[in-house]
């Protein structure tokens, strides 16, 4: 016999809306990732360069794709917080989040790397007669496939090892959104550099030589940076959950100094600061760990000799 207490309580329209919000944010993440992939392929919703309906050039399309990956990062940061604030955390939400992350932070950045670093592709800028030593497209495809595989492994491990009681203060291994941000930050930086070079100011005078060196250098280095981020995703190196720490007000003196430095860097060089920030987050921790392990080894205490 069913008692009155056993009858499930009907949710109000407001409660239903709150329950739907985290799911919509998570799906927004996947839509942004899918849009980035289709734009890179040249068959997506590409914005026009001007009002006459001229389609955007490849360099502009890849810039839009980069911003879409960052928009997916924003959705990914908000959906978990929205689920916890509305008390709507569930195993379904965790699985849905990981599936969407595979698209936005696994497939999309790997596809972007192929577009940026492929031989003969000049999306990094005008390379002129520069010949990349990486002439094998198969090699680049292998790195991209390895990146996707590591992102999938990273997300699956996160689901298995994280429960609802987790404090969400940090991660084991580089988070997949941060890894995707490392790759997506370079088109934004190159676009900012090209805009700076077009300005007839004294600032552009010292930047002019960099404009000829940075794009081809990035075309060579980006596959190896992608490989490094793939390895870091499946590593056991601890990374802080920056978004949650900011929301909860966990900011010590070190975090405040880093925030001030970041804002100053962004104000000074704008878009060119984005890869610096993401690469610092991704690689400073491992670099410091290696430095402590192999350079500044702790001295073992020597027992006093018996008299």
By C-alpha distance, which of 17, 22, 38 is closest to 95?
A: 22
CA distances 276 to 109, 145, 205, Å, are 17, 25, 22
Quick: pLDDT tens for 117-158.
Answer: 877 665 555 444 445 555 578 888 999 999 999 999 999 998
Contact partners, residue 192, CB within 8 Å, separation at least 6: 269, 270, 271, 272
Q: What is the pTM of this model?
A: 0.79
pLDDT digit string, tens, across residues 211-270: 677 777 787 889 999 999 999 999 988 888 765 555 555 555 555 555 555 555 555 556
- Is the Cα dihedral 150, 152, 154, 160 positive or negative? negative
Is 286 within 8 Å of 237 (Cβ atoms)? yes
Measure the CA–CA gap between 111 and 41, rounded to whole angstroms.
9
> How many Å from the N-terminal Cα to the C-terminal Cα in the chain?
85
Query: What is the rounded distance in angstroms from the CA atom of residue 280 to the CA atom of residue 182?
Result: 9
SS3 158: helix
Give the H/E segment covering residue 294. helix 273-294
């Amino acid at each position: 016999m069913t008692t009155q207490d056993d009858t499930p309580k009907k949710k109000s329209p407001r409660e239903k809306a709150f329950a739907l919000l985290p799911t919509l944010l998570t799906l927004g993440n996947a839509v942004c990732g899918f849009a980035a992939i289709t734009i890179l392929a040249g068959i997506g919703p590409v914005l026009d360069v001007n009002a006459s309906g001229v389609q955007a050039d490849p360099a502009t399309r890849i810039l839009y794709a980069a911003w879409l990956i960052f928009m997916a990062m924003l959705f990914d940061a908000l959906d978990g917080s929205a689920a916890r604030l509305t008390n709507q955390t569930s195993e379904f939400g965790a699985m849905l989040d990981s599936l969407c992350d595979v698209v936005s932070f696994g497939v999309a950045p790997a596809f972007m790397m192929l577009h940026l670093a492929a031989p003969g592709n000049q999306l990094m800028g005008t390379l002129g007669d520069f010949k990349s030593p990486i002439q094998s497209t198969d090699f680049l495809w292998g790195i991209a496939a390895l990146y996707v595989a590591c992102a999938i492994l990273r997300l699956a491990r996160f689901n298995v090892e994280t429960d609802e009681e987790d404090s969400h203060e940090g991660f084991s291994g580089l988070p997949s959104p941060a890894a995707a941000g490392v790759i997506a930050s370079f088109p934004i930086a190159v676009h900012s550099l090209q805009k700076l070079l077009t300005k007839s100011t004294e600032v552009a005078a010292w930047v002019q030589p960099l404009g000829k060196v940075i794009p081809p250098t990035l075309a060579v280095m980006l596959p190896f940076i992608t490989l490094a981020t793939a390895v870091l995703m499946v590593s056991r190196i601890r990374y802080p959950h920056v978004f949650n720490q900011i929301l909860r007000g966990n900011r010590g003196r070190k975090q405040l100094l880093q925030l001030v430095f970041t804002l100053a860097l962004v104000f000074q060089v704008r878009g060119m600061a984005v890869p610096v920030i993401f690469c610092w987050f991704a690689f400073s921790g491992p670099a410091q760990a290696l430095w402590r392990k192999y350079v500044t080894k702790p001295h073992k205490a020597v027992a006093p000799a018996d008299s």
